[in-house]
A and B are shown apart, each in its own frame.
Chain A
């Protein structure tokens, strides 16, 4: 694999799943305002919480990973929304002021 391939989350997801690991794929499906990663960006997560790729500049990945573990267990996809609308949201929010929607599904 070349350097760019080892950083390719979709190739990583395939390799992980083929070696028997549980995998969830998170995809940015909508952005408003200044969002660090465009629609279509991927973060892939395994059952142990290992991950590759990004859906933001590192701001909300932690929360997405937690939700992904849920999705892996239940098999039911989830739609997550992140913004900086209020104080609480700051903890898992986007410091850039944007808003994003992330779809998380299990790789069957």
Chain B
């Protein structure tokens, strides 16, 4: 591998971009493929598969063995709202291998006592997301029920291509939310990506069960996402 290739790979990893390194095991060199780059032919399919699974693999193309190493940013969850559901989600997420950040400007909710050991930011999402922007490896779950707090990050999550965007609230609440997001410039297609009511339908009733249903839906969205266009 060339130093220049390694430097580009490391820059992509630090910017939370996915990358595949294709190494010709017969000594024919190394190729770096960044997420979103189009790769033609059968190799494109293998690369897309590797991006999806996140697993390194060896493939045969044109009689050569190519080792595809996949570098995915660690997935994380950003929760808007330091509510009861978030308390349960904050305990479940690390078990599934997800980092988690909770944002809530309401200092009565966002307390150390309720969320010990959890990354908790007691500030407006507008301000926090400027410093820590959302990206394709982030799941956004908005659970405050308050449009003043939820709407902006929902819109940002759709714009930034978060692999999951979920919003708590009844169908009626969501219908009103859809109207507001349209006014904020989001398209019907983008808005259609929002998981609402939030969580897989497992009949969840308690806050912990809703957290579990939400986490399961996040895992499903992550494992089934598509990152590379086959060219």
Is B58 in contact with A29, judged by CB distance below 8 angstroms? yes
Is B67 in contact with A107, judged by CB distance below 8 angstroms? no
- With both beta carbons as reference points, the residue of chain A lying nearest to B56 in the complex is identified as A40
Sorting the interface of chain A by its residue count into under 10, 10 to 19, 20 to 34 or 35 or more gives: 20 to 34
Interface size counted on chain B using CB atoms at 8 A: 18
Binds B, one of A13-21, A56-64, A81-89: A13-21
Give the CA-CA distance A25 to B23 in the complex, in Å.
12
**A7 contacts chain B at the CB level, 8 A cutoff:** no
**B1 contacts chain A at the CB level, 8 A cutoff:** yes
Is B6 in contact with A103, judged by CB distance below 8 angstroms? no
Q: Inside 8 A of A46's CB, which chain B residues have their CB?
A: none
Looking at chain B's contact residues, the main secondary structure is: mixed
Is B56 in contact with A29, judged by CB distance below 8 angstroms? yes
Is B1 in contact with A105, judged by CB distance below 8 angstroms? yes
Q: Inside 8 A of A79's CB, which chain B residues have their CB?
A: 25
Task: Indicate with 1 or 0, residue by residue over B44-77, a CB within 8 angstroms of chain A CB atoms.
Answer: 0000000000011110000000010110000000
A interface residue numbers (CB < 8 A to B) = 10-11, 13-14, 17-18, 25, 27-30, 38-40, 76-77, 79, 103, 105, 107-108
